[in-house]
Amino acid sequence: MPHKKEAWKDELYGDAVREKIEEFAARGWESIPEEERDEWFSRFKFWGVFHHRGGQESYFMMRLTNCGGVLEPGQLRAIGEVARDYAKGPVDNPEFGDAWIDFTTRQSIQLHWLKLEDIPEIWDKLEAVGVSSRSAGGDTMRNISGCPVAGKAEEYVESRELLDDIQEGIRGDDALCNMPRKFNISVTGCRQGCAQDSINDIGLEPAHKFIDSDERSSSGNRKSSISDDGEEVKGFNVRVGGGLGGREPRKARSLDLFVEPDQAYETVRTFVEYYHEEGNRQNRSKNRGRFFVDEHGTDAIREEMVERLSFEPERAGTDFRGEYTYNAGKPTERGAHDHVGIYDQADGKNYVGLSVPIGRLPAEEAVELAALADAYGSGEIRLSRRQNPIITDVPDGNLSNLLNEPFLSKYKPEPNPFERGTMACTGTEFCSLALTETKARSARMIRWLRDNTELPPDVDRIKIHYSGCTADCGQAMTADIGLQGMRARKDGEMVEALDVGVGGGIGEDPSFIEWVRQRVPADEVPGMIANLVEAFAALREEGQTFREWVDATGHETIVELAEPEEVEGYEDPCLTDGKQSWYPFDDGESPAPTDAEGQPISADD
């Protein structure tokens, strides 16, 4: 029997949901029948509108969508202004105050504390500059990941036009909006692997292949060269079934397919349609794309794909995975491991990647960042998969003045390794699934590590990824040090705790963390990380990265070195909250639900 959410979606889903959101917004929060709220909130997600966790009734998050992380001139300014004017909560966050934007791990932005009544006006302001929230959540294709500097930096295969085509023609097709579960697409055109094809439902990776020219159909726009082995053709290999979550991660598996750039769109659409038609709609715990690949197997999927495609695909070509450096645990001299820093563009200009610790930026500073992009670059900003913004198109003559701006003394292109390497999901601040708070805790933790832990000069990053639960939106499974929220008892009291693992990464041979400690009270985690990192600094071979050291050291020794410890100078922001309060930083009575002006709605009203 199909899951109940399938019946909800069959009745109404996709583009048609927007009209209902606008109707409810016009009539107010209380117009949504209480017994139907789960149903409507599930549908709202397609338009990027997510109801906050329990205790915060009538408040919503909006997730935006911008394919491959591109924010065109004027778009970040509009987003920042919307956050400033509408994303205001009833209480302040102790680390971030009120009104901010969150950069996500899929190159997009989230806004919190929004009132349902304001959603249509917010859409008007965002859509006026080309920003949408369509297909940003729910059982649909999520924001498409690509190299954030596609079209700016050198690529082996140009991917920006392909990303836009997939966005418009596949993700934009309402006939495909109702997927069995959320579905992730990535396209990598560069040699660094920054779109992380290994953890997507379908990922295209750059490759080349020598093909007998007599076997190729003629095409005027295919770039190739001739050798004794045949014609060298640039294109993509295809991988499917990658993903994290539920502590059942999978690396995307090769379909043994090589497709040329003008065949890539059809290939992606064919797999999307296949999963749309044949994916499991009964068991939601086992129906993500990775389980679909588990069930059918790559051989059968390849055979089905070949049957459906209008062309005869080649067997997989030679990839460049050996050159992947993005979160790959390789030494810095091998190449960039993120987009933080100053880099050359293909046109002779520069892009400057800034580190925004854990991806949260106050609204006024988002507007300031947009102004800097206008003043020193083209106004275009790109977002990476590591929750960081990139200012593009900066001429050499503008570079020094940009670097001297006060904004860049806070959000640096050369940050501390802990600030540079840490990511965190939303956590219990707003998420109904999370078990622990994440953002404020991460901010305090990396500050303490920065001030109390010494690293060798050649270590410029330690990747610490924090997820508030096993859904792993913070990508803990792919970190040097991965943290996932749990609960534990300490001194007879229930406290927020973390499971801690090490040794994850994306690259030529992706690996997922191995757990070294479980249910560590949150106030003992900074000391544990410091003990582990200091052991790494003392025991590593020269030039060895953290991931290389973990692999060489062995699990049992790592467990011994990873000793939890309370430390002086670190005060956990909400150790004993455990999601018992309506908001992790306020143990008073919740004001929710509130009306359009944010005033509490009386039960008698």
pLDDT tens per residue, range 454-486: 999 999 989 999 999 999 999 999 999 999 999
Give the count of beta carbons closer than 10 Å to the beta carbon of residue 298. Answer: 18
The per-residue pLDDT for range 122-151, each reduced to its tens digit, is 999 999 999 999 999 999 999 999 999 999
Cβ contacts of residue 222 below 8 Å, gap of 6+? Answer: 216, 233, 234, 260, 261, 262
Can you give the length of the chain in residues?
605
Residue 94, pLDDT score: 96
Residue 469, pLDDT score: 97
Question: Would you say residue 214 has pLDDT above 70?
Answer: no
Whole-angstrom Cα distance, residue 144 to residue 195?
Answer: 9
Give the count of beta carbons closer than 10 Å to the beta carbon of residue 360. Answer: 21
Phi-psi region of 23 (alpha: psi -120 to 50; beta: other; left: phi over 0): alpha
* CB-neighbour burial class of residue 581 (10 A; exposed 0-12, middle 13-18, buried 19+): middle
Whole-angstrom Cα distance, residue 43 to residue 38?
Answer: 9
Question: Stretch 268-285: mean pLDDT, rounded?
Answer: 97
**pLDDT, averaged across the chain:** 95
Residue 569, pLDDT score: 97
Whole-angstrom Cα distance, residue 603 to residue 605?
Answer: 6
Q: What is the pTM of this model?
A: 0.96
Amino acid sitting at position 293: V
214 secondary structure, DSSP code: G
Question: Would you say residue 218 has pLDDT above 80?
Answer: no
Residue 449, pLDDT score: 98
Alpha helices in 309-425 (DSSP H): 363-376, 396-403, 407-410, 417-421
Whole-angstrom Cα distance, residue 310 to residue 81?
Answer: 47
Residue whose entry in the numeric block shows the structure tokens 């944010």 = 598
Residue 219, pLDDT score: 42
Residue 83: its H or E element: helix 75-86
* Burial state string for 256-280 with b = 16 or more CB within 10 A and e = fewer than 16: ebbbbbebbbebbbbbbebbbeebb
136 secondary structure, DSSP code: S
Residue 220, pLDDT score: 40
User: Hey, what domains does the chain have and what are their CATH numbers?
Assistant: 157-213+226-319 (3.30.413.10), 419-561 (3.30.413.10)
Question: Would you say residue 118 has pLDDT above 90?
Answer: yes
Whole-angstrom Cα distance, residue 508 to residue 196?
Answer: 11
The per-residue pLDDT for range 485-520, each reduced to its tens digit, is 999 999 999 999 999 999 999 999 899 999 999 999
